[in-house]
Amino acid sequence: MLFRKRWQELSQLRKFQNDLMVELIQSRKKVIENNNYDDDGCFVCYVDTLLNLKLPEEKRKLDEGELVALCSEFLTAGTDTTSTTIEWVMANLVKHKHMQQRLVEEIEDVVGDKEEKKVREEDLEKLPYLKALILEGLRRHPPSHYAIPHAVTEDVILNGYFVPKNGTVNFMVADIGLDPTVWKDPMVFKPERFLRDETSSSNILEAYDISGKKEIKMMPFGAGRRICPAYKLAMLHLEYFVANLVLNFEWKTLLSTENVDLSEKQEFTMVMKHPLQAQISQRSKIVT
């Protein structure tokens, strides 16, 4: 068999995946069967919806293998993409010290002299430069460079190109965000492009539709009816974590490195080829 070693690794990973997930799925199944939601303090969760789901065409419920695959996809899509984006944003904040300084100053204006140094969810809407940083991170370093492919239902001519019925269509997510006809200096990490006045120090966010309902300039979460259903939650998590990481810690390059290597490497998501290594120290006080 070709690639025997890789096949063995795949089999071991699949077994580990099953061993991890099946026990949790069976546990939730017992909760549903015994109607013990109130007794053990549990709430309805994602697995519960899958256990109750029926496939209308095949007139059956999901089997164990399908449940494992869907749960794994749910966890990976909800955690790996977020952590990857956070690393890219923090890497750029380490590389561009003035951006980190500007973000800290913006947070200070909102958080003030509170005893607890923490950005709360209700504070995020008051931090436009933070949102601009996250948007620029998603434009320049989208965790996925490709969207899920789709097929056209009939023959169509798109911008002079003939696409036959059932032809596969894919969207190059990364290339859309780097289109020089749409973005000025697309290879440059520049959060100010999402602010109303790029040349000013004022942080007024320019209205931008990341869902693609009005126009598509970038689509890190997809677009249309099949856009990532949790993209708003993802934005909330990204803003919350980055804000608190910067508020409480100062991020610098290591003494042994003069710069941050932003080379890419394709794994499940597009990660840093050389993971971020930074010198992190607790901020003694909020910068003024």
Q: For the chain, how many structural domains are there in total? A: 2
DSSP annotation of 178 reads T
Residues 111, 249, single domain; the answer is yes
Residues 54, 102, single domain; the answer is no
CATH number of the domain enclosing 277: 1.10.630.10
Give tens-digit pLDDT for 10-56: 888 888 888 889 998 998 888 888 776 655 556 778 888 898 888 88
Q: Which pLDDT value is given to residue 2?
A: 61
Residues 121, 227, single domain; the answer is yes
Closest Cα to residue 51, out of 69, 26, 73, 72? 26
Q: Is 42 annotated as a binding residue?
A: no
Residues 8, 138, single domain; the answer is no
Q: Which pLDDT value is given to residue 77?
A: 77
Which pLDDT band, with edges at 50, 70 and 90, does 254 fall under? confident
210 in any annotated domain: yes
Q: Which residue has the higher pLDDT, 38 or 246?
A: 246
Give tens-digit pLDDT for 196-207: 876 656 677 887
287 in any annotated domain: no
288 in any annotated domain: no
Residues 118, 253, single domain; the answer is yes
Q: What angle do CA 107, 92, 78 make, to 5 degrees?
A: 80
Task: Please answer whether residues 67 and 77 qualify as being in contact, where contact means their C-beta atoms are separated by less than 8 angstroms.
Answer: no
Residues 100, 214, single domain; the answer is yes
Residues 10, 107, single domain; the answer is no
Give tens-digit pLDDT for 276-285: 999 999 987 6
Expressed as residue numbers, the domain containing 25 is 4-62
163 in any annotated domain: no
Lowest mean pLDDT among 124-138, 148-162, 235-249, 250-264: 250-264
104 in any annotated domain: yes
DSSP 202-262: ---BPP--TT-SS--S--BTB-GGGS-TTHHHHHHHHHHHHHHHHHHEEEEE-TT-SS---
Q: Which pLDDT value is given to residue 288?
A: 45
Which pLDDT band, with edges at 50, 70 and 90, does 94 fall under? very high
Which pLDDT band, with edges at 50, 70 and 90, does 76 fall under? confident
54 in any annotated domain: yes
Q: Which pLDDT value is given to residue 127?
A: 96
pLDDT over threshold 70, residue 59: yes
Residues 96, 198, single domain; the answer is yes
What residues form DSSP beta bridges with 205? 195
166 in any annotated domain: no
Residues 37, 108, single domain; the answer is no
Q: Which pLDDT value is given to residue 287?
A: 47
